[in-house]
Amino acid sequence: MNKETAIHLKNITKSYPGVIANKNVDFQVNKGEIHALVGENGAGKSTLMKILYGIEQPDEGEILINGTPQIINKVETAINLGIGMVHQEFTLVPSFTAPENIGLGQEPKNSRGLVDWKGLNNAVMNIAEKYGFKVDPGLKMIDASVGVQQRTEILKTLYRNANILILDEPTAVLTPQETDELFNVIRTLVDEGKTVIFITHKLREVMEIADRVTVMRAGEVQGVSETKNTSITELASQMVGREVFLQVKKDEAKPKDEILNVNDLWVHDARGLLAVKGVNMNIRQGEIVGIAGVEGNGQSELVEALTGLRKASKGEIVYLGEDIASSTPKNIRRKKIAHIPEDRTNTGLNTQLSIWENLIGNSYFRKPLSSKGIFNLKKVSQHANKLKEDFDIRAPSVSLKVKSLSGGNQQKVVVARELSEDPTLTIASQPTRGVDIGNIEAIHEQLVQMRDDGGAVLLVSAELDEVMAVADRVGVMYEGQIVKWVNPKEVDQSQMGLYMAGVKD
Protein backbone atom coordinates (compact mmCIF):
# COMPACT_ATOMS: atom_id res chain seq x y z
CA MET A 1 0.00 0.00 0.00
CA ASN A 2 1.39 3.33 -0.95
CA LYS A 3 -0.76 6.03 0.51
CA GLU A 4 -0.03 9.72 0.60
CA THR A 5 0.49 11.23 4.00
CA ALA A 6 -1.93 14.02 4.88
CA ILE A 7 -0.42 14.86 8.24
CA HIS A 8 2.89 14.03 9.72
CA LEU A 9 3.71 15.33 13.18
CA LYS A 10 7.38 14.55 13.58
CA ASN A 11 9.10 14.12 16.95
CA ILE A 12 6.79 16.53 18.71
CA THR A 13 7.80 17.42 22.25
CA LYS A 14 5.78 19.77 24.39
CA SER A 15 6.19 20.32 28.07
CA TYR A 16 4.26 22.38 30.53
CA PRO A 17 5.68 23.36 33.89
CA GLY A 18 6.25 20.06 35.65
CA VAL A 19 4.67 17.83 32.96
CA ILE A 20 5.81 16.56 29.63
CA ALA A 21 2.58 16.42 27.66
CA ASN A 22 4.12 15.10 24.46
CA LYS A 23 7.43 13.32 24.28
CA ASN A 24 8.92 12.64 20.85
CA VAL A 25 5.51 11.96 19.41
CA ASP A 26 5.38 10.77 15.85
CA PHE A 27 1.87 10.86 14.46
CA GLN A 28 1.09 10.10 10.86
CA VAL A 29 -2.29 10.18 9.14
CA ASN A 30 -2.81 9.02 5.58
CA LYS A 31 -4.93 10.87 3.11
CA GLY A 32 -8.48 9.59 3.01
CA GLU A 33 -8.35 7.44 6.10
CA ILE A 34 -10.23 7.44 9.36
CA HIS A 35 -7.55 7.55 12.00
CA ALA A 36 -8.45 7.04 15.64
CA LEU A 37 -6.37 8.64 18.36
CA VAL A 38 -6.98 6.97 21.69
CA GLY A 39 -5.58 7.31 25.17
CA GLU A 40 -6.58 8.02 28.73
CA ASN A 41 -7.14 11.51 30.05
CA GLY A 42 -3.84 13.26 30.28
CA ALA A 43 -2.20 10.93 27.76
CA GLY A 44 -1.41 13.91 25.55
CA LYS A 45 -4.07 13.53 22.83
CA SER A 46 -5.52 16.98 23.31
CA THR A 47 -2.13 18.63 23.47
CA LEU A 48 -1.13 16.96 20.23
CA MET A 49 -4.31 18.10 18.52
CA LYS A 50 -3.94 21.59 19.92
CA ILE A 51 -0.48 21.70 18.36
CA LEU A 52 -1.88 20.56 15.04
CA TYR A 53 -4.70 23.10 15.21
CA GLY A 54 -2.39 25.99 16.10
CA ILE A 55 -3.60 26.53 19.66
CA GLU A 56 -0.29 25.44 21.17
CA GLN A 57 3.25 25.52 19.80
CA PRO A 58 5.54 22.52 20.18
CA ASP A 59 8.88 22.92 21.98
CA GLU A 60 10.47 20.65 19.44
CA GLY A 61 9.42 18.86 16.29
CA GLU A 62 8.02 19.49 12.91
CA ILE A 63 4.59 19.54 11.29
CA LEU A 64 4.21 18.35 7.72
CA ILE A 65 0.91 18.90 5.95
CA ASN A 66 0.69 17.02 2.66
CA GLY A 67 4.44 16.58 2.79
CA THR A 68 5.29 20.26 3.21
CA PRO A 69 6.73 21.53 6.50
CA GLN A 70 4.47 24.14 8.04
CA ILE A 71 4.58 26.38 11.07
CA ILE A 72 1.09 26.55 12.53
CA ASN A 73 1.19 29.28 15.14
CA LYS A 74 -2.44 30.27 15.08
CA VAL A 75 -5.80 28.68 14.39
CA GLU A 76 -6.29 30.74 11.20
CA THR A 77 -3.19 29.13 9.71
CA ALA A 78 -4.57 25.68 10.47
CA ILE A 79 -7.90 26.55 8.88
CA ASN A 80 -6.16 27.93 5.80
CA LEU A 81 -4.25 24.67 5.53
CA GLY A 82 -7.56 22.84 5.39
CA ILE A 83 -7.68 21.59 8.96
CA GLY A 84 -11.02 21.72 10.76
CA MET A 85 -11.76 20.78 14.33
CA VAL A 86 -15.02 19.89 16.02
CA HIS A 87 -14.55 20.40 19.74
CA GLN A 88 -16.24 18.35 22.40
CA GLU A 89 -17.97 21.45 23.67
CA PHE A 90 -19.86 22.92 20.76
CA THR A 91 -19.13 26.48 19.72
CA LEU A 92 -22.53 27.45 18.38
CA VAL A 93 -24.70 30.51 18.99
CA PRO A 94 -27.90 29.00 20.40
CA SER A 95 -30.21 31.66 18.97
CA PHE A 96 -28.76 31.31 15.45
CA THR A 97 -29.85 28.86 12.77
CA ALA A 98 -27.46 26.37 11.20
CA PRO A 99 -26.56 28.60 8.19
CA GLU A 100 -26.11 31.62 10.47
CA ASN A 101 -23.76 29.66 12.69
CA ILE A 102 -21.88 28.21 9.77
CA GLY A 103 -21.38 31.55 8.05
CA LEU A 104 -20.46 33.43 11.21
CA GLY A 105 -17.20 35.24 10.56
CA GLN A 106 -17.14 34.37 6.88
CA GLU A 107 -20.43 35.74 5.66
CA PRO A 108 -20.75 36.20 1.91
CA LYS A 109 -21.45 39.85 1.05
CA ASN A 110 -23.71 41.14 -1.69
CA SER A 111 -22.97 44.12 -3.94
CA ARG A 112 -24.12 46.59 -1.29
CA GLY A 113 -21.80 45.15 1.32
CA LEU A 114 -24.57 43.50 3.29
CA VAL A 115 -24.76 39.84 4.23
CA ASP A 116 -25.96 37.74 1.35
CA TRP A 117 -28.28 35.46 3.33
CA LYS A 118 -29.60 33.72 0.28
CA GLY A 119 -26.12 32.97 -1.00
CA LEU A 120 -25.10 31.69 2.41
CA ASN A 121 -28.17 29.47 2.67
CA ASN A 122 -27.53 28.06 -0.78
CA ALA A 123 -23.86 27.45 -0.10
CA VAL A 124 -24.65 25.64 3.15
CA MET A 125 -27.43 23.58 1.62
CA ASN A 126 -25.17 22.60 -1.28
CA ILE A 127 -22.50 21.30 1.05
CA ALA A 128 -25.11 19.53 3.16
CA GLU A 129 -26.56 17.85 0.11
CA LYS A 130 -23.17 16.80 -1.18
CA TYR A 131 -22.38 14.94 2.04
CA GLY A 132 -25.89 13.68 2.63
CA PHE A 133 -26.56 15.80 5.76
CA LYS A 134 -30.10 16.56 6.75
CA VAL A 135 -30.24 20.23 7.73
CA ASP A 136 -33.25 22.40 8.44
CA PRO A 137 -32.02 25.91 7.55
CA GLY A 138 -34.69 27.61 9.65
CA LEU A 139 -34.10 25.68 12.89
CA LYS A 140 -32.38 27.54 15.69
CA MET A 141 -29.64 25.64 17.47
CA ILE A 142 -31.37 26.02 20.82
CA ASP A 143 -34.18 23.82 19.49
CA ALA A 144 -31.89 21.38 17.69
CA SER A 145 -30.89 17.98 19.02
CA VAL A 146 -27.30 17.31 19.98
CA GLY A 147 -26.83 15.27 16.81
CA VAL A 148 -27.99 18.15 14.63
CA GLN A 149 -25.74 20.57 16.49
CA GLN A 150 -22.81 18.29 15.91
CA ARG A 151 -23.57 18.03 12.19
CA THR A 152 -23.73 21.81 12.07
CA GLU A 153 -20.27 21.93 13.60
CA ILE A 154 -18.98 19.51 10.98
CA LEU A 155 -20.63 21.58 8.22
CA LYS A 156 -18.92 24.64 9.62
CA THR A 157 -15.52 23.07 9.04
CA LEU A 158 -16.54 21.93 5.57
CA TYR A 159 -17.78 25.44 4.72
CA ARG A 160 -14.28 26.61 5.57
CA ASN A 161 -12.93 24.07 3.08
CA ALA A 162 -11.49 21.65 5.60
CA ASN A 163 -9.92 18.53 4.13
CA ILE A 164 -8.70 17.16 7.42
CA LEU A 165 -11.31 16.96 10.16
CA ILE A 166 -10.45 16.46 13.80
CA LEU A 167 -13.41 15.17 15.82
CA ASP A 168 -12.83 15.36 19.56
CA GLU A 169 -14.83 12.67 21.40
CA PRO A 170 -17.75 13.13 19.02
CA THR A 171 -19.84 10.26 20.35
CA ALA A 172 -19.75 11.22 24.01
CA VAL A 173 -23.10 12.98 23.78
CA LEU A 174 -24.90 10.81 21.23
CA THR A 175 -27.40 7.97 21.43
CA PRO A 176 -26.41 4.71 19.74
CA GLN A 177 -28.65 5.65 16.81
CA GLU A 178 -27.13 9.10 16.49
CA THR A 179 -23.71 7.51 16.70
CA ASP A 180 -24.60 5.27 13.77
CA GLU A 181 -25.72 8.34 11.80
CA LEU A 182 -22.48 10.10 12.64
CA PHE A 183 -20.51 7.11 11.44
CA ASN A 184 -22.39 7.20 8.16
CA VAL A 185 -21.53 10.88 7.84
CA ILE A 186 -17.87 10.14 8.54
CA ARG A 187 -17.84 7.40 5.91
CA THR A 188 -19.37 9.78 3.34
CA LEU A 189 -16.75 12.38 4.19
CA VAL A 190 -13.99 9.88 3.59
CA ASP A 191 -15.60 8.73 0.34
CA GLU A 192 -15.49 12.35 -0.78
CA GLY A 193 -11.76 12.42 -0.15
CA LYS A 194 -11.63 13.93 3.32
CA THR A 195 -9.36 12.71 6.09
CA VAL A 196 -10.78 12.22 9.57
CA ILE A 197 -8.98 12.10 12.91
CA PHE A 198 -11.27 10.59 15.50
CA ILE A 199 -10.36 11.15 19.14
CA THR A 200 -12.08 8.82 21.57
CA HIS A 201 -11.66 6.48 24.46
CA LYS A 202 -14.42 4.11 23.36
CA LEU A 203 -12.50 1.25 21.85
CA ARG A 204 -15.54 -0.51 20.44
CA GLU A 205 -16.14 2.50 18.20
CA VAL A 206 -12.53 2.53 17.13
CA MET A 207 -12.84 -1.02 15.92
CA GLU A 208 -16.05 -0.18 14.11
CA ILE A 209 -15.12 2.99 12.25
CA ALA A 210 -11.38 3.56 12.11
CA ASP A 211 -8.88 2.27 9.56
CA ARG A 212 -5.88 2.80 11.76
CA VAL A 213 -5.40 3.70 15.37
CA THR A 214 -2.66 5.44 17.32
CA VAL A 215 -2.56 4.77 21.05
CA MET A 216 -0.99 7.28 23.41
CA ARG A 217 -0.02 6.92 27.03
CA ALA A 218 1.78 9.38 29.30
CA GLY A 219 2.69 11.67 26.41
CA GLU A 220 4.16 8.95 24.23
CA VAL A 221 2.88 6.91 21.33
CA GLN A 222 2.44 3.32 22.47
CA GLY A 223 1.59 1.85 19.14
CA VAL A 224 0.07 2.37 15.73
CA SER A 225 -1.96 -0.41 14.24
CA GLU A 226 -4.50 -1.19 11.60
CA THR A 227 -7.77 -1.94 13.32
CA LYS A 228 -8.18 -5.20 11.45
CA ASN A 229 -4.94 -6.45 13.00
CA THR A 230 -5.66 -5.54 16.60
CA SER A 231 -8.25 -6.13 19.29
CA ILE A 232 -10.00 -4.15 22.00
CA THR A 233 -8.08 -5.98 24.70
CA GLU A 234 -4.77 -5.22 23.05
CA LEU A 235 -5.62 -1.53 22.62
CA ALA A 236 -6.87 -1.27 26.19
CA SER A 237 -3.68 -2.72 27.64
CA GLN A 238 -1.62 -0.37 25.45
CA MET A 239 -3.66 2.54 26.77
CA VAL A 240 -3.41 1.65 30.43
CA GLY A 241 -0.06 -0.06 30.41
CA ARG A 242 -1.36 -3.17 32.08
CA GLU A 243 -4.09 -5.68 31.51
CA VAL A 244 -7.57 -4.27 32.01
CA PHE A 245 -10.71 -6.13 32.88
CA LEU A 246 -13.30 -4.66 30.61
CA GLN A 247 -15.98 -6.78 32.15
CA VAL A 248 -17.04 -5.89 35.65
CA LYS A 249 -16.42 -8.87 37.87
CA LYS A 250 -19.38 -9.48 40.11
CA ASP A 251 -21.51 -12.26 41.46
CA GLU A 252 -25.23 -12.58 41.09
CA ALA A 253 -27.04 -9.96 43.16
CA LYS A 254 -28.72 -11.16 46.33
CA PRO A 255 -31.32 -8.48 46.92
CA LYS A 256 -32.93 -8.35 50.35
CA ASP A 257 -35.32 -5.80 51.87
CA GLU A 258 -36.66 -2.85 49.94
CA ILE A 259 -34.89 0.38 50.84
CA LEU A 260 -36.37 2.92 48.48
CA ASN A 261 -39.75 3.05 46.85
CA VAL A 262 -40.53 5.84 44.41
CA ASN A 263 -44.20 6.17 43.74
CA ASP A 264 -45.65 8.24 40.86
CA LEU A 265 -42.96 10.92 41.02
CA TRP A 266 -43.39 14.11 38.99
CA VAL A 267 -40.66 16.78 38.88
CA HIS A 268 -40.34 20.10 37.06
CA ASP A 269 -37.00 21.23 35.66
CA ALA A 270 -35.31 24.62 36.12
CA ARG A 271 -37.32 26.11 33.27
CA GLY A 272 -40.56 25.00 34.86
CA LEU A 273 -41.21 22.23 32.37
CA LEU A 274 -42.18 18.76 33.45
CA ALA A 275 -39.04 16.64 33.33
CA VAL A 276 -40.06 13.59 35.33
CA LYS A 277 -43.52 12.30 34.54
CA GLY A 278 -44.69 9.62 36.89
CA VAL A 279 -41.69 7.49 37.73
CA ASN A 280 -42.17 4.35 39.77
CA MET A 281 -39.30 2.24 40.98
CA ASN A 282 -37.86 0.46 43.95
CA ILE A 283 -34.39 -0.38 45.11
CA ARG A 284 -33.51 -3.24 47.42
CA GLN A 285 -30.59 -3.85 49.70
CA GLY A 286 -27.79 -5.64 47.89
CA GLU A 287 -28.58 -4.63 44.34
CA ILE A 288 -27.48 -2.05 41.79
CA VAL A 289 -30.34 -0.51 39.88
CA GLY A 290 -29.31 1.23 36.69
CA ILE A 291 -31.04 4.03 34.83
CA ALA A 292 -30.07 4.17 31.17
CA GLY A 293 -31.14 6.78 28.69
CA VAL A 294 -29.98 9.63 26.54
CA GLU A 295 -29.13 12.61 28.66
CA GLY A 296 -31.85 15.17 29.13
CA ASN A 297 -34.69 12.71 29.52
CA GLY A 298 -35.31 13.60 33.13
CA GLN A 299 -32.50 11.63 34.79
CA SER A 300 -30.90 14.73 36.31
CA GLU A 301 -34.19 15.94 37.75
CA LEU A 302 -35.00 12.47 39.07
CA VAL A 303 -31.68 12.34 40.92
CA GLU A 304 -32.09 15.89 42.21
CA ALA A 305 -35.54 15.05 43.56
CA LEU A 306 -34.23 11.90 45.28
CA THR A 307 -31.41 13.83 46.91
CA GLY A 308 -33.49 16.81 48.01
CA LEU A 309 -31.87 19.31 45.66
CA ARG A 310 -35.13 19.79 43.76
CA LYS A 311 -38.66 19.64 45.10
CA ALA A 312 -40.89 17.00 43.59
CA SER A 313 -44.19 18.37 42.28
CA LYS A 314 -46.08 15.21 43.08
CA GLY A 315 -45.50 11.71 44.34
CA GLU A 316 -43.78 9.85 47.12
CA ILE A 317 -40.19 8.90 47.79
CA VAL A 318 -40.37 6.34 50.57
CA TYR A 319 -37.00 5.57 52.12
CA LEU A 320 -36.98 2.94 54.86
CA GLY A 321 -40.67 3.51 55.41
CA GLU A 322 -40.52 7.30 55.56
CA ASP A 323 -41.54 9.78 52.87
CA ILE A 324 -38.52 11.98 52.16
CA ALA A 325 -40.00 13.81 49.16
CA SER A 326 -39.96 17.13 50.98
CA SER A 327 -36.78 16.60 53.02
CA THR A 328 -33.78 18.89 52.76
CA PRO A 329 -30.46 17.68 51.33
CA LYS A 330 -29.07 17.83 54.85
CA ASN A 331 -31.69 15.53 56.35
CA ILE A 332 -31.42 13.16 53.41
CA ARG A 333 -27.64 12.98 53.88
CA ARG A 334 -28.03 12.31 57.59
CA LYS A 335 -30.17 9.32 56.68
CA LYS A 336 -27.10 7.80 55.03
CA ILE A 337 -27.98 8.49 51.42
CA ALA A 338 -24.82 9.30 49.49
CA HIS A 339 -24.85 11.19 46.22
CA ILE A 340 -22.21 11.25 43.51
CA PRO A 341 -23.51 14.11 41.35
CA GLU A 342 -23.23 14.33 37.58
CA ASP A 343 -21.70 17.78 37.76
CA ARG A 344 -18.36 17.26 39.38
CA THR A 345 -16.71 20.67 39.25
CA ASN A 346 -19.56 22.86 40.48
CA THR A 347 -21.69 20.55 42.59
CA GLY A 348 -19.58 17.64 43.74
CA LEU A 349 -16.57 19.74 44.61
CA ASN A 350 -15.51 23.23 45.48
CA THR A 351 -12.33 23.27 43.43
CA GLN A 352 -11.05 26.33 45.32
CA LEU A 353 -10.87 24.29 48.50
CA SER A 354 -8.16 21.80 49.33
CA ILE A 355 -8.49 18.06 48.89
CA TRP A 356 -9.02 17.47 52.60
CA GLU A 357 -11.65 20.19 52.82
CA ASN A 358 -13.53 18.50 50.00
CA LEU A 359 -13.11 15.07 51.54
CA ILE A 360 -14.76 16.00 54.84
CA GLY A 361 -17.86 17.62 53.32
CA ASN A 362 -20.13 14.90 54.70
CA SER A 363 -18.31 14.18 57.93
CA TYR A 364 -16.83 17.46 59.22
CA PHE A 365 -19.50 17.82 61.90
CA ARG A 366 -18.97 14.47 63.58
CA LYS A 367 -16.52 13.27 66.17
CA PRO A 368 -13.59 12.82 66.14
CA LEU A 369 -13.10 15.17 63.17
CA SER A 370 -14.59 18.01 65.15
CA SER A 371 -15.99 18.52 68.59
CA LYS A 372 -18.13 21.43 69.75
CA GLY A 373 -17.61 23.07 66.38
CA ILE A 374 -13.81 23.03 66.52
CA PHE A 375 -11.78 20.85 64.20
CA ASN A 376 -9.34 18.30 65.43
CA LEU A 377 -7.01 18.89 62.50
CA LYS A 378 -4.85 15.91 63.35
CA LYS A 379 -7.81 13.54 63.10
CA VAL A 380 -9.02 15.36 59.99
CA SER A 381 -5.62 14.85 58.43
CA GLN A 382 -5.61 11.15 59.30
CA HIS A 383 -9.11 10.74 57.89
CA ALA A 384 -8.25 12.57 54.67
CA ASN A 385 -5.00 10.72 54.16
CA LYS A 386 -6.69 7.39 54.73
CA LEU A 387 -9.28 8.16 52.07
CA LYS A 388 -6.52 9.35 49.76
CA GLU A 389 -4.81 6.01 50.19
CA ASP A 390 -7.94 3.82 50.08
CA PHE A 391 -9.27 5.45 46.95
CA ASP A 392 -5.88 5.94 45.31
CA ILE A 393 -6.17 9.71 44.89
CA ARG A 394 -2.92 10.72 43.19
CA ALA A 395 -1.72 13.92 44.80
CA PRO A 396 1.44 14.84 46.66
CA SER A 397 -0.54 16.23 49.59
CA VAL A 398 -4.14 16.57 50.72
CA SER A 399 -3.50 20.29 51.30
CA LEU A 400 -3.42 20.91 47.57
CA LYS A 401 -6.37 22.58 45.97
CA VAL A 402 -8.72 20.23 44.17
CA LYS A 403 -8.47 22.32 41.03
CA SER A 404 -4.87 21.20 40.62
CA LEU A 405 -5.98 17.56 40.20
CA SER A 406 -6.82 15.80 36.95
CA GLY A 407 -10.47 15.09 36.21
CA GLY A 408 -10.15 11.44 37.17
CA ASN A 409 -8.56 12.25 40.49
CA GLN A 410 -11.16 14.91 41.19
CA GLN A 411 -13.84 12.31 40.65
CA LYS A 412 -12.03 9.99 43.04
CA VAL A 413 -12.26 12.71 45.69
CA VAL A 414 -16.04 12.80 45.20
CA VAL A 415 -16.38 9.02 45.22
CA ALA A 416 -14.12 8.67 48.25
CA ARG A 417 -16.14 11.19 50.23
CA GLU A 418 -19.51 9.78 49.27
CA LEU A 419 -18.65 6.16 49.93
CA SER A 420 -16.71 6.89 53.11
CA GLU A 421 -19.62 7.40 55.51
CA ASP A 422 -20.99 3.91 55.05
CA PRO A 423 -24.13 4.82 53.07
CA THR A 424 -27.24 2.68 53.01
CA LEU A 425 -28.18 4.00 49.57
CA THR A 426 -25.69 5.40 47.07
CA ILE A 427 -27.03 7.46 44.21
CA ALA A 428 -24.34 7.69 41.55
CA SER A 429 -24.97 9.92 38.57
CA GLN A 430 -22.52 9.66 35.66
CA PRO A 431 -19.87 8.47 38.13
CA THR A 432 -17.19 7.82 35.52
CA ARG A 433 -17.69 10.79 33.22
CA GLY A 434 -14.34 12.10 32.03
CA VAL A 435 -12.55 9.41 34.01
CA ASP A 436 -10.01 7.19 32.27
CA ILE A 437 -10.23 3.44 31.87
CA GLY A 438 -8.06 2.41 34.82
CA ASN A 439 -10.05 4.58 37.21
CA ILE A 440 -13.41 3.61 35.70
CA GLU A 441 -12.54 0.05 36.61
CA ALA A 442 -11.81 1.10 40.20
CA ILE A 443 -15.02 3.10 40.58
CA HIS A 444 -17.10 0.23 39.23
CA GLU A 445 -15.43 -2.14 41.66
CA GLN A 446 -16.24 0.21 44.52
CA LEU A 447 -19.91 0.38 43.55
CA VAL A 448 -20.10 -3.42 43.36
CA GLN A 449 -18.35 -3.59 46.73
CA MET A 450 -21.01 -1.29 48.23
CA ARG A 451 -23.64 -3.67 46.91
CA ASP A 452 -21.91 -6.77 48.23
CA ASP A 453 -21.59 -5.14 51.64
CA GLY A 454 -25.36 -4.90 51.78
CA GLY A 455 -25.83 -1.38 50.42
CA ALA A 456 -28.17 -0.32 47.66
CA VAL A 457 -26.94 1.56 44.61
CA LEU A 458 -28.76 3.62 42.02
CA LEU A 459 -26.54 4.10 38.99
CA VAL A 460 -27.62 6.72 36.46
CA SER A 461 -25.44 6.90 33.39
CA ALA A 462 -25.59 7.95 29.78
CA GLU A 463 -22.89 5.39 29.04
CA LEU A 464 -24.86 2.38 28.00
CA ASP A 465 -21.87 0.05 28.38
CA GLU A 466 -21.49 1.15 31.97
CA VAL A 467 -25.09 0.62 33.02
CA MET A 468 -25.22 -2.74 31.29
CA ALA A 469 -22.01 -3.95 32.88
CA VAL A 470 -22.52 -2.71 36.43
CA ALA A 471 -26.27 -2.77 37.13
CA ASP A 472 -28.29 -5.80 38.09
CA ARG A 473 -31.54 -4.33 36.83
CA VAL A 474 -31.89 -1.49 34.33
CA GLY A 475 -34.70 0.96 33.71
CA VAL A 476 -34.65 2.91 30.47
CA MET A 477 -35.68 6.51 30.84
CA TYR A 478 -37.27 8.34 27.96
CA GLU A 479 -39.04 11.70 28.12
CA GLY A 480 -39.44 11.63 31.86
CA GLN A 481 -40.69 8.10 32.18
CA ILE A 482 -39.11 4.75 32.72
CA VAL A 483 -40.35 3.08 29.58
CA LYS A 484 -38.80 -0.32 30.12
CA TRP A 485 -37.22 -2.43 32.83
CA VAL A 486 -34.74 -4.98 31.57
CA ASN A 487 -32.29 -7.54 32.81
CA PRO A 488 -29.00 -6.40 31.29
CA LYS A 489 -27.97 -9.98 30.61
CA GLU A 490 -30.99 -10.57 28.44
CA VAL A 491 -30.93 -7.63 26.01
CA ASP A 492 -28.34 -6.45 23.53
CA GLN A 493 -27.07 -2.95 22.81
CA SER A 494 -29.17 -2.34 19.70
CA GLN A 495 -32.32 -3.35 21.52
CA MET A 496 -31.42 -0.94 24.32
CA GLY A 497 -30.76 1.75 21.72
CA LEU A 498 -34.32 1.39 20.49
CA TYR A 499 -35.74 1.68 24.01
CA MET A 500 -33.58 4.75 24.62
CA ALA A 501 -34.98 6.32 21.48
CA GLY A 502 -38.49 5.78 22.79
CA VAL A 503 -39.43 2.78 20.69
CA LYS A 504 -41.50 0.36 22.73
CA ASP A 505 -41.48 -3.37 22.05
Partner 1 sequence: MDKFSFKDVLVTVAGLFITTIIAWVLITATGNNPSEVAKYLYEGGFKGTRNIANSLYQATPLILTATATLISFRVGMFNIGINGSMYVGALYAGWAGYRFTNLGHYSHVTLCILIGMTVGALWMLLPALLRVYAGVSEIISTIILNFVAVLFVSYMANGPFRADPIAPATARILETAELKQIFPNSQFNTGFFIAVFVAILAHFILNKTTFGYELRSGGDGLVGIYPSRFSSYLGIPSNRSAITGMLISGAIGGLAGAIEVLGAVRYFFQELEFNQGFDGILIGILGKLEPIGAIIASLFYGAVKNGGFFVDYKTDVAREIIIVLISILIFFVSAQKIVKGLEKYPIVKKMDSFFSRKKM
Among 30-38, 247-255, 357-365, 494-502, which window interacts with partner 1 (CB under 8 A)? 357-365
Closest approach, Cβ 419 to partner 1, in A, equals 15
**Interface residue with partner 1, options 353, 469, 498, 501 (CB under 8 A):** 353
Among 5-13, 99-107, 234-242, 344-352, which window interacts with partner 1 (CB under 8 A)? 344-352
346 binds partner 1 (CB under 8 A): yes
The rounded distance, in Å, linking the Cα atoms of 50 and 58 is 10
The rounded distance, in Å, linking the Cα atoms of 100 and 85 is 18
Using an 8 Å Cβ cutoff, are 428 and 460 in contact? yes
Using an 8 Å Cβ cutoff, are 464 and 476 in contact? no
Closer residue to partner 1 (CB): 60 or 343: 343
Strand partners, 458: 289, 427
173 binds partner 1 (CB under 8 A): no
Phi, psi of 93 (to 5 degrees): -85, 115
The rounded distance, in Å, linking the Cα atoms of 32 and 456 is 50
Closer residue to partner 1 (CB): 212 or 344: 344
Strand partners, 401: 354
> By C-alpha distance, which of 155, 50, 67, 28 is closest to 104?
155
- H and E: helices and strands count for the chain: 16, 22
Closer residue to partner 1 (CB): 179 or 327: 327
Among 238-246, 291-299, 352-360, 462-470, which window interacts with partner 1 (CB under 8 A)? 352-360
341 binds partner 1 (CB under 8 A): yes
Among 222-230, 289-297, 380-388, 458-466, which window interacts with partner 1 (CB under 8 A)? 380-388
The rounded distance, in Å, linking the Cα atoms of 432 and 427 is 13
**Interface residue with partner 1, options 61, 296, 361, 502 (CB under 8 A):** 361
In this structure, what DSSP letter does residue 402 have? G
322: three-class secondary structure by DSSP: strand
Closer residue to partner 1 (CB): 164 or 360: 360
260 binds partner 1 (CB under 8 A): no
How many residues sit close enough to partner 1 to count as binding (CB under 8 A)?
43
Strand partners, 318: 261, 323
107: three-class secondary structure by DSSP: coil
357 binds partner 1 (CB under 8 A): yes
17 binds partner 1 (CB under 8 A): yes
Closer residue to partner 1 (CB): 17 or 113: 17
Among 41-49, 110-118, 189-197, 366-374, which window interacts with partner 1 (CB under 8 A)? 366-374
Interaction mask 303-332, partner 1, x per CB under 8 A: ----xxx------------------xxxxx
Q: Give CA 110 to chain center in angstroms.
A: 42
> By C-alpha distance, which of 7, 36, 31, 6 is closest to 197?
36
Q: Which residues bind partner 1 (CB under 8 A)?
A: 17-18, 307-309, 328-334, 339, 341, 343, 346-350, 352-353, 356-357, 360-362, 364-365, 370, 373-375, 377, 380-381, 384-385, 396-399, 401
